[in-house]
């Protein structure tokens, strides 16, 4: 169990809604029936299937790309951009930023930004920290890079459970203005797949689409 100090530290660096270290978008306007679907850690082997499902549903999402994964799958990164999805920066190698020096944090973000722009033709406006962990110095670097931090308000936990449970979790937690966290690949250098996410996505889109409009993170911010 966390102590009082532990709770404070967790809230400071890890709670999705925390604004103590710097401003981070965690949800949209609760009075507007819109949700933002986001995917982290890609591109990867399951990205193409996810892009196909989104295309069939006519949905645009926001993809937070890791620079090293873009280098491994440059064609998929281009496909994400060409399909009209929004691009975000998720660092180069997906490290935990806790206790990292500002120099290391800058290197991760800047290298990813350069790789993303080179392969997609556009710089990322949004940044999502790996594991949602923020650290001292991060927000100064984001200001220098003209980027904004974005977190989430619904976590599908799709890296650790079945398609049925992913679907049930997303549907039960979604609300107007929700930013939904899913993944289209494992983090760089890690084994695994996101086939459960692929299987869950059609039902999520179909059922949420009855009540909500899907928007990008930028569109969600514009509604605030």
* pLDDT tens by residue, 18-51: 998 999 999 999 999 999 999 999 999 999 999 9
| pLDDT value at residue 10 | 75
Convert the pLDDT of each residue in 185-212 to its tens digit: 999 999 999 999 999 999 999 999 999 9
108: which strand partners?
none
119 is written with which tokens?
């392969």
Averaged pLDDT for residues 128-153: 97
The distance of Cα 72 from the centroid of its chain, to the nearest Å, equals 19
For the chain, what is the largest distance between any 2 Cα atoms, rounded to a whole number of angstroms?
48
Q: What are phi and psi of 153, to 5 degrees?
A: -120, -10
Residue 110 known to be catalytic: no
Pick the catalytic residue from 40, 41, 158, 184.
40
Report the alpha-carbon distance of residue 33 to residue 19 in Å, rounded.
24
Q: Does pLDDT of 4 surpass 80? A: no
Report the alpha-carbon distance of residue 162 to residue 142 in Å, rounded.
35
Report the alpha-carbon distance of residue 173 to residue 185 in Å, rounded.
22
Q: How confident is the model at residue 65 (pLDDT cuts 50, 70, 90)?
A: very high
Pick the catalytic residue from 90, 94, 183, 184.
183
Q: How confident is the model at residue 9 (pLDDT cuts 50, 70, 90)?
A: confident
Q: What are phi and psi of 148, to 5 degrees?
A: -125, 145
Residue 158 known to be catalytic: no
Q: Does pLDDT of 1 surpass 60? A: no
Convert the pLDDT of each residue in 82-133 to its tens digit: 999 999 999 999 999 999 999 999 999 999 999 999 999 999 999 999 999 9
Domain boundaries, the chain: 23-222
Assess if CATH 3.30.420.40 describes domain 23-222.
no
């Amino acid at each position: 169990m966390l102590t009082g100090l532990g709770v404070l530290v967790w809230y400071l660096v890890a709670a999705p809604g925390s604004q103590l270290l710097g401003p981070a978008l965690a949800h949209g306007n609760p009075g507007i029936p819109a949700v933002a679907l986001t995917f982290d850690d890609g591109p990867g082997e399951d990205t193409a299937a996810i892009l196909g499902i989104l295309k069939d549903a006519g949905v645009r999402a926001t993809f937070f790309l890791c620079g090293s994964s873009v280098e491994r799958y440059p064609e998929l990164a281009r496909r994400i951009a060409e399909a009209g999805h929004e691009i975000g920066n998720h660092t180069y190698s997906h490290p935990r930023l806790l206790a990292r020096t500002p120099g290391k944090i800058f290197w991760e973000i800047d290298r990813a930004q350069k790789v993303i722009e080179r392969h997609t033709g556009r710089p990322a406006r949004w940044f999502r920290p790996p594991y949602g962990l923020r650290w001292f110095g991060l927000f100064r670097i984001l200001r220098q890079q003209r980027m904004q931090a974005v977190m989430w308000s619904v976590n599908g936990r799709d890296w650790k459970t079945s398609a049925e449970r992913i679907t049930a979790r997303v549907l039960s937690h979604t609300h107007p203005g929700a930013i939904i966290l899913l993944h289209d690949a494992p983090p760089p250098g890690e084994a695994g797949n996101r086939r459960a996410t692929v299987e869950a996505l059609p039902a999520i889109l179909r059922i949420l689409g009855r009540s909500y409009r899907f928007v990008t993170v930028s569109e969600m911010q514009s509604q605030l």
